[in-house]
């Protein structure tokens, strides 16, 4: 799994079936794309008798990808900025064919654009996406 | 299905020694004036290369992210030295692009005809349009004579920034 399609929308999609002709959508051949990994949030503590507890509240899949210079044209960077700022973000992962869209969210903070070796012409974007639905 | 076959190299290999370099000062991006500074009759040690910059991928492979261009121009020391230094340091202190002249090629729109080049069977320009380029000048002593070296090192994003023209 190396390829990811990003799609953003101003409204929630009515269907999650992949559409190769969709607008506001771009595919990337990343240099790094992790498999979805669960990240859990637990309620943890210790009782007065010393017994510890950890109660699982929920868990979400997270996925990380890196897109580097060769795919980061000016248009691609502008697309990724729009994607980062949009309210409805979706991904599709490629494994012999494009999978259904998955609704994801990005964390806040500065747009994750960095420059390799501090060279303007070597941009790189590392993004972490969190699945909206819990496991 | 598109099929491209490169063949018949035997007997058709062009000999194209690096014989000159032309610099074009750029006042504004996109301006490509006539050659502003041209050097002919370079030393044989002069060289140029364009090498891909590779980055490791998550899957153990490599991906190309750009190219490093490295040009070393060796000039014999003569009475022109002061003007070479002045030209490169003052006239071309800003932005410029350049063309490598291979074989019997000469810079565009100049009348000067360089002497015949031995071991050359063709003529070729290689125009490079870097986003940001500068040069350094070195002076060194080699046995009985000093010489000047102009070094240009920069980055280009893709080979579309390089135009090769057979003249």
Please give the average pLDDT of every successive group of 10 residues along chain B, which has 167 residues.
82 88 69 68 92 91 90 83 70 76 84 83 85 79 85 87 84
Query: A37 pairs with which residues across the strands?
Result: A62
Average pLDDT over residues A31-45: 93
Which of A19, A15, A21, A25 minimizes the C-alpha distance to A82? Answer: A25
Q: How far is A47 from chain B (nearest CA, A)?
A: 44
Buried b (16+ CB within 10 A) or exposed e, A16-27: eebeeeeeebbe
Q: In the structure encoding, which two tokens stand for residue A54, read together?
A: 């950890």
List all residues of chain A from 74 to 113 with a beta carbon under 8 Å from chain B.
Answer: none
| pLDDT for res B30 | 47
Instruction: Report helix, strand or coil for B167.
Output: coil
| B8-to-A72, A98, B11, B121 alpha-carbon distances in Å | 38, 43, 8, 17
List all residues of chain A from 111 to 130 with a beta carbon under 8 Å from chain B.
Answer: 116, 119, 121-122
The span from the CA of B3 to the CA of B10, in Å, is 21
Chain B within 8 Å of A43 (Cβ-Cβ)? no
Task: Kindly state the helix (H) or strand (E) to which residue A74 belongs, with its residue range.
Answer: helix A74-85
Q: How far is A69 from chain B (nearest CA, A)?
A: 5
Residues of chain A contacting residue B59, judged by C-beta atoms under 8 Å apart = 2
The span from the CA of A130 to the CA of B153, in Å, is 42
Residues of chain B contacting residue A66, judged by C-beta atoms under 8 Å apart = 58
Chain B within 8 Å of A31 (Cβ-Cβ)? yes
Quick check: A112 pLDDT over 90? yes
The span from the CA of A84 to the CA of A106, in Å, is 7
Instruction: Supply the mean pLDDT for chain A.
Output: 92
Given a contact cutoff of 8 angstroms between Cβ atoms, the answer to whether B150 and B89 are in contact is no
Give, in degrees to the nearest 5, the angle at Cα A24 between A124 and A101.
90
| pLDDT for res B29 | 47
Residues of chain A contacting residue B133, judged by C-beta atoms under 8 Å apart = none
Q: In the structure encoding, which two tokens stand for residue A49, read together?
A: 């008798």
pTM above 0.80, yes or no: no
The span from the CA of B9 to the CA of A129, in Å, is 51
| B129-to-A108, B69, B95 alpha-carbon distances in Å | 39, 11, 11
Closest to B63 (Cβ–Cβ): which among A31, A116, A119?
A31
| pLDDT for res B127 | 87
| pLDDT for res B86 | 67
Closest to B65 (Cβ–Cβ): which among A32, A33, A69?
A69
Q: How far is B55 from chain A (nearest CA, A)?
A: 8
Average pLDDT over residues A56-68: 94
| B4-to-B1, B7 alpha-carbon distances in Å | 10, 10
* Strand ordering across the sheet containing B96-103: B37-40, B18-25, B96-103, B123-128, B162-166
Given a contact cutoff of 8 angstroms between Cβ atoms, the answer to whether B164 and B125 are in contact is yes
Average pLDDT over residues A66-74: 90
Given a contact cutoff of 8 angstroms between Cβ atoms, the answer to whether B38 and B112 are in contact is yes
Chain B within 8 Å of A42 (Cβ-Cβ)? no
Q: How far is A90 from chain B (nearest CA, A)?
A: 23
The span from the CA of A3 to the CA of A27, in Å, is 7
Q: ipTM of this predicted complex?
A: 0.76
Query: Are the beta carbons of A68 and B65 separated by less than 8 Å?
Result: yes
Chain B within 8 Å of A73 (Cβ-Cβ)? no
């Amino acid at each position: 799994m190396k390829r990811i399609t990003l799609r953003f929308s101003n409204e929630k999609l009515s269907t999650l079936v992949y559409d190769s002709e969709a607008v506001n959508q771009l595919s990337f051949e990343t240099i790094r794309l992790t498999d979805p990994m669960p990240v859990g949030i637990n309620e943890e503590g210790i009782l007065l008798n010393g017994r510890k507890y950890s109660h699982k509240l929920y868990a979400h899949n997270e996925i990380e990808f890196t897109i580097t210079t060769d795919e980061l044209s000016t248009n691609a960077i502008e697309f990724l900025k729009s994607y980062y700022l949009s309210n409805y973000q979706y991904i599709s992962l490629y494994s012999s064919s494009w999978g259904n869209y998955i609704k994801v969210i990005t964390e806040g903070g500065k747009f994750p654009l960095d420059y390799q070796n501090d060279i303007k012409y070597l941009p790189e974007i590392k993004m972490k996406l969190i699945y909206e639905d819990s496991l | 299905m598109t099929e491209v076959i490169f063949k018949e190299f035997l007997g058709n290999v062009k000999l194209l020694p690096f014989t000159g370099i032309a610099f074009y000062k750029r006042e504004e991006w996109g301006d490509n004036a006539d050659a502003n500074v041209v050097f002919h009759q370079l030393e044989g040690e002069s060289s140029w290369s364009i090498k891909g910059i590779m980055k490791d991928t998550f899957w153990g492979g490599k991906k190309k992210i750009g190219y490093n261009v490295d040009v070393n121009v060796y000039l014999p020391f003569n009475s022109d030295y002061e003007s070479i230094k002045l030209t490169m340091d003052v006239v071309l202190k800003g932005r410029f692009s350049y063309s490598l002249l291979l074989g019997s090629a000469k810079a565009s729109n100049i009348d000067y005809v360089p002497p015949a080049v031995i071991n050359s069977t063709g003529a070729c320009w290689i125009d490079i349009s870097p986003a940001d380029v500068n040069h350094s000048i070195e002076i060194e002593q080699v046995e009985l004579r000093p010489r000047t070296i102009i070094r240009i090192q920069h980055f280009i994003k893709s080979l579309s920034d390089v135009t090769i023209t057979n003249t």
